[in-house]
Amino acid sequence: MKYIFFCLLIALTITAKAQHADTLLTDTSKAKKLKEVVVTATRTNKTLMQVPMPVTTISNKEIKNRGLVRLNEILNEQTGLSVLPDAHGQGIQIQGFSPDYTMIMLDGLPLIGRTTGILDLSRITTNNIEKIEIVKGPVSSLYGSEAMAGVINIISATPPVGASGSVSARYGTNKNADISLNGAYATQRLSLSGFVNRYSSSGYTLVPESGSATVSPFYGYTLNGTLGYKFNNRTQIKLQVRDYTSTADNNFLVDNDRITGDGTEKTLNASAGLTHRFSDKFTGDVRLYHAGYSTKSLLINNTDNSVYDETFFDQNFNRAELQGDYKITNSLRFTGGVGGQDESVRATRYNDKKTFQSGYTYGQADWTPLKKLDIILGGRFDAHSVYRSQFSPKLAASYQFSDKFVLLASTGKGYKAPDFRQLYLNFTNAIVGYSVFGYEEAATELKKLQDQGQIQAVLIDPTTLQRLNAESSTAYNFGYRYKPFTGVMWTVNVFRNNIRDLIDSQPIAIKTNGQSVFSYFNIHDVYTQGVETDVTYNFLTRWTVAGGMQYLEAYDQSVLDQIKAGKVFGTDQATRETVRIKKSQYGGLLNRSKYMANARIAYQDDKTGIIASLRAIYRGRYGFSDVDGNGIVNRDDEYVKGYVLFNASVSKLFMNNQLRLQVTGDNIGNYKNPGAISNLAGRLIYAGVTYNFSKQQ
Amino acid sequence: MNKFKTLALVLFSSTALLVTSCSKDNETPEPQKPVILTVNTVSDLDGSAGAVYYSLSTNKQITGDDITAGKWDIKFSGTSIFVNGGTSGSGTTQAQTVDGKFEEVNQAPADGYKTDASGVNAIAKWYQYTGEDIKPNHTILPLPGKIIIIKTTAGKYAKMEIKSYYKGNPAITEAFDANTPSKFYTFRFAYQADGSTSLQ
């Protein structure tokens, strides 16, 4: 594969005679930033200053300047976001929500492929991105299930007119290599672009004495092709296909037996969109989308060559959607849509192929009754073949006191549908002997066990259960964007999310072997609340300093009630006797840091072509385990200590900004916590090179 | 002399009687002040060499023929606790777990007791095993707030709290060494000998 890269590189270099500086330096200056248009919060173009929800954008330039190549790397440096380590991948936490509750989109279309709710962000390359938009707070009113904590939308770059291309490579510690090759050709009507990205690593081992790697060696390819064509000023189409395949070389020890084998993961996204402008006032869109996600693994026990574990997972998602955008008057705009979805899954732990059908309709009115006031009212109705229908309303408003100060407030409902696992899982642990059944399977599977005489006592009769409901939240966000003087942007957002019906497993029966049978229920009510603030200051033309922080509280309401009733206990560390837990001792939900902060200083000199930045990312202590067995975090040793990561990068541009050489240091302080943080491999040093060219027509 | 003595005694007694009858209003007659139960702490009951038996009524470890004679109430074997009843013994001992603080569990529940059945002990879920994910790893930690109520074969009630599974009842911190000698049980209990459900 490497050879193909180099051959293509040479070919592309030869064809590029009239070279031109690419977009490396062209950036959203401060003035531009204000007029920056965002799309994700409303499904329509809207200026960033006016949009009445908390929205953050990350430009391609910023990503490149920091030398970050995967989505998890760049998101971890954003205020209020934290990338969580997990055996099933690196997911994102927004406003204290687990990764399950954030929708990740590519050009407005949802990515699928979650394992225990986590969509592994390291799958996603930051190559060929124009920008990333992050909306915090529920956007289920537009996007439906999963958009409960927020939405992260990756917006692909549109190629400039002419031929253009780039090759970039980053290589460093742990043989981490990321190579991208981009090519594009565009005229006024046609635009054609594609890229190949290869990402690989030799993995790393945080606990060598365990004989198992923390991250196994892997390599993955992303192939992307996009075709756009404007038939005329009114009609255009866009087709996009992206394929990602990754293979991990597993090798670990279980009770002195060496287990080896490959695990592969594939995703495929294909979309086709047609946009037609019927009049100056009315535009229509039709979009077709297919997404596939599959994994496969075969693990062999090397001691006796037996199959240790063989699994597969195969998910398909199809959607057809129609959207219309009607500007009724200059101050009133209506956007609405209707769509249908078909989903299916086949997997080792499911009885047979499972399918979902759903239909939805959404509408949004964007009203500007006064020049300074913008009100958005919207809602979406989802009807589903398996779980209860959902209605997700949203109301948001922004008031522009001046060019410098905008107040924003929004409230809305978000929801997340029960996933396939919660509905259809049929799993019995072969070693320990417990069983877990999805809601839909519980009655039949329990009956089977009863008929086999394996059940000692039924605790909850599954036939009496209430239908599993979607998890939902009501959110309130309130804040402002403020530019007190030139070069300074200050945002504040206060949030509160009341989350109902969180799904968890609980025992429904006791087996004769003493183990339990579990199924899923709507159990917990939790809330998260906090405040987030960000300040950016540009000075002396070349310098930027920025900082942000988030304060977060995330509690389980039922635990608070139990504490109030005096029913939560802990162990006195000196006497090992039972003590009662007070509210002040309750650490809240696991993995939530009360305090998170980041600071950044950046320098960019266009004359010398030197770009540098140093970032510090602080994650305050967070609950991690339950040493005293009372189900909650309350002791100091149940927390992971807070830590700071320092990341830096220095670039130098050459040849009229076409060539960039870069050194990137990730976690320069070499912070590690092998027992608790699996995604911190220690200090990572990379060298990078990017070469851009474009040929004007 | 004798007469005088007797008179004195009578006088004294009647005075005493008078005094007591006079003060009757202030001093409520105390209907047998409940004896505060003695809390016994058993330290490092050594089960490392095999199952170990204990009698709550005598506050003694039971060994040898006394075991077969069924003179024990509870038996510790590894992480399992058995009662002398059901599938575990010849007696009719029963138990259940209630949530609370040891000092505050003053009354044994009237019902809800179970004896041991095959694979399902009356005293289950008294500890948590930390496994790989929680530090200290691979450690057995008694669950807080789980007070074990035992109804012995003789129909007497007792409450019990388990403090430690490790020798010396060591403090459990992240640095705890899971190789510390285990199956050394430290627990406290209070035994009500009068047959009532009061555990004060």
| Interface contact flag, B141 A628, Cβ < 8 Å | yes
Query: What percent helix, strand, coil does chain A show, rounded to 5?
Result: 10, 55, 30
Looking at residue A697, its pLDDT comes to: 53
Residues B2-21 have pLDDT tens digits of 555 554 555 455 444 444 44
Q: Token pair 């997911």 is at which residue?
A: A91
Using CB atoms, which residue from B120, B141, B164 is nearest to A514? B120
Contact A450, A462 (CB under 8 A): no
Residues of A in contact with B172 (CB under 8 A): 571, 573, 576, 627-628
Looking at residue A626, its pLDDT comes to: 83
Q: Tell me if chain A has a CB within 8 Å of the CB of B141.
A: yes
| Interface contact flag, A629 B144, Cβ < 8 Å | yes
Whether complex ipTM tops 0.85: no
Residues of B in contact with A675 (CB under 8 A): 135
Say how many CA atoms lie within 13 Å of B52 toward its Cβ: 16
Looking at residue B117, its pLDDT comes to: 87
CA distances from B56 to A36, A427, B74, B94 (A): 77, 43, 8, 13
Looking at residue A566, its pLDDT comes to: 92
Compute φ and ψ for B59, nearest 5 degrees. 55, 45
Say how many CA atoms lie within 13 Å of A452 toward its Cβ: 10
Bridge partners of A610, per DSSP, are A605, A652
pLDDT-derived band of residue B22, with 50, 70 and 90 as boundaries? Answer: very low
Looking at residue B37, its pLDDT comes to: 84
pLDDT surpassing 80 at residue B53: yes
Compare all CA atoms of chain A with the CA of B146 and give the residue at the minimum distance.
A578
Q: Token pair 């199952």 is at which residue?
A: B51
**Residue A90 and residue A71: Cα distance in Å, rounded?**
10
Q: Tell me if chain B has a CB within 8 Å of the CB of A626.
A: yes
Compute φ and ψ for A162, nearest 5 degrees. 110, -170
| Best to test chain B binding among A432, A563, A578, A635 (most B CBs inside 10 Å) | A578
Looking at residue B34, its pLDDT comes to: 57
B179 contact partners, CB below 8 Å, separation of at least 6: none
Q: Give the closest residue to B144 by CA, choosing from A142, A631, A354, A495.
A: A631
Q: Is A513 left (phi over 0), alpha (psi -120 to 50) or beta?
A: alpha
Amino acid letter, residue B149:
I
Give A380-385 contacts, CB < 8 A, sequence gap 24+: A380/A140, A380/A141, A380/A142, A380/A143, A380/A144, A382/A144, A382/A145, A382/A358, A382/A415, A383/A358, A383/A359, A384/A356, A384/A357, A384/A358, A384/A417, A385/A355, A385/A356, A385/A357, A385/A358
Surface-to-core class of residue A415, CB atoms within 10 Å of its CB (0-12 exposed, 13-18 middle, 19+ buried): buried
pTM: 0.86
In our burial notation (b when 16+ CB lie closer than 10 A, e otherwise), range B111-136 reads: eebbbbeeebbbbeebbbebeeebbb
Residues of A in contact with B171 (CB under 8 A): 573-574, 576
What is the torsional sign of CA A70, A76, A79, A82?
positive
| Interface contact flag, A577 B163, Cβ < 8 Å | yes
Amino acid letter, residue A18:
A
Looking at residue A432, its pLDDT comes to: 78
Amino acid letter, residue A313:
F
- How much is the CA Rg of chain A, to the nearest whole Å? 26
Amino acid letter, residue A181:
L
Looking at residue A259, its pLDDT comes to: 92
Using CB atoms, which residue from B101, B147, B163 is nearest to A576? B163
Residue A11 DSSP SS3:
helix
State yes or no: cis peptide before B31, omega within 30 of 0: no
Looking at residue A491, its pLDDT comes to: 96
Using CB atoms, which residue from B102, B119, B141 is nearest to A627? B141
| Interface contact flag, B163 A569, Cβ < 8 Å | no
Q: Tell me if chain B has a CB within 8 Å of the CB of A575.
A: yes
Which positions of chain A have pLDDT values less than 70? 1-34, 696-697
| Interface contact flag, B99 A627, Cβ < 8 Å | no
Say how many CA atoms lie within 13 Å of B145 toward its Cβ: 16
| Interface contact flag, A627 B186, Cβ < 8 Å | no
Q: Tell me if chain B has a CB within 8 Å of the CB of A666.
A: no
Looking at residue A512, its pLDDT comes to: 83
Residues B34-48 have pLDDT tens digits of 567 889 999 999 999
